[in-house]
Amino acid sequence: MTACHVSVLLKEAVEALAVKPGGSYVDATFGRGGHSREILRCLGPQGRLLALDRDPAAVAAAGEIADSRFAIAHASFSELAGALDGCGMTRLDGVLLDLGVSSPQLDDAARGMSFRFDAPLDMRMDTTRGETAADFLARADEREIEEVIRDYGEERFAHAIAKALVAARREHRISGTRQLAALVEKAVRTREPGQHPATRSFQALRIFVNRELEELSLVLPQAVARLAPGGRLVVISFHSLEDRIVKRFMRDEATPRQPPKGVPVRAADLPPVRMRLVGRAQRPSPAEVAANPRARSAVMRVAERV
């Protein structure tokens, strides 16, 4: 089961965590457990690792790990604090966030995340709750569809696509991946070489349905609040919108606060910085990208609690 997913920046991410043998860690996106298994290899008998994933299939896969130091929670990023409280973990020595969609999710036709298969238009990472992509396209107005495709997919033909989808649904519900891909393809006049015209629209709908950017914005401060001094936050992003959120958050947490102009506040009275940046953004090596093309857009950023 674990062979179907290759963890990106595996050794680099775990090295960036600077794992202490007796430390407490969170792998906030278990996936198929590549990072979790590597962290467990670095932990001693007193170490602890909590993994999170909102995908029931990933939670089921975690059952393969029979290790008393390991626990899995069916939870999204925004539920990190509650998951930690549930297993009695108060202070952490590291948190790893591996963002985006996993290979098993893309390769499972039933999940409806790829136009490579003809499947129901679902796209949810957590198949037990929430609105499917088909449900959204059935109830949203043209303006909302356009905003989602433009903002989350950075699609310049968002207006034409939204117009085409609203017109099409008057005849038939948009319920299949190939059906959606064909409608988008007709509405997109040009596309970058080597990229399917529906790529950006599928990405946008997936990000929206799963609230991926909102979940990321919610988990970052929760992670920092639980880190012990010297604890590391390691984030692997696969999309420019994700990486922008991570970069700004880490920069803001590592930048000394400035008093408002004209307000007599001493520097000593300002809130101290909570993080320091560790190294520069890191990308996969050419060898890793050649072996796993899905790694090509990955960016890893690291910060440490002070």
Q: Which residues are annotated as a binding site for S-adenosyl-L-methionine?
A: 33-35, 53, 77, 98, 105
Closest by CA to 51, choosing from 90, 14, 88, 80, is 80
**Integer CA distances (angstroms), 70 to 23, 121, 135, 288, in order:** 12, 34, 37, 28
Is 283 in contact with 13 (CB distance < 8 Å)? Answer: no
How far, in whole angstroms, is CA 232 from its chain's centroid? Answer: 18
Q: Could you say which DSSP state residue 46 is in?
A: T
Closest among 81, 31, 107, 121 to 218, alpha carbons compared: 81
Give the pair of three-digit tokens for residue 1.
């089961």
Give the DSSP letter of residue 282: B
Could you identify the residue written with the tokens 């297993």? 87
